[in-house]
Amino acid sequence: MPTTATSIRDEIRRANDTFEASFARGDSAAIARLYTDGGVVLPTGMEPIQGTAGIQAFWQGAMEMGIKQVKLKTREVEELEDTAIELGNYTLFGGAGQLIDQGKYMVVWKQQGGQWKLHQDIWNTNIPAAS
């Protein structure tokens, strides 16, 4: 039976809940496992980072820079057979709950091993650059 858009949105929400909880625990390995084997993150000002080890190291570095909590809010999910595209907003917080960053993201999700996983992950801030 084909997956409905609602259930895909629910599965993505569960994966995002796991991302948020793993980040709060400081578990970059758990975050990296949410990506496909060929997953890639596309951070601003950096070359693309591909593969589980690189993705884990990237998120570990973000944690070490002081980001302690991530909130993800899905705005839209579009299903394309074994692919889904999510558009959403993120908010990043420090250890004292202070706002570090907020912006928008787009994730291309792929099914791998019967689960929806992040495949291509790009984001950018809504906070203007300092002049």
What is the predicted pLDDT for the residue at 21? 98
pLDDT for residue 6:
52
The per-residue pLDDT for 131 is 74
Q: Is the dihedral of CA 28, 87, 65, 68 positive or negative?
A: negative
**What tens digit of pLDDT does each residue of 31-88 get?**
999 999 999 999 999 999 999 999 999 999 999 999 999 999 999 999 998 999 999 9
Strands 69-80 and 49-50: unpaired
Q: Looking at residue 130, what DSSP letter applies?
A: P
Predicted TM-score (pTM) of the model is 0.92
Q: Domains along the chain?
A: 5-123 (3.10.450.50)
Report the 10 Å Cβ neighbour count for 26. Answer: 13
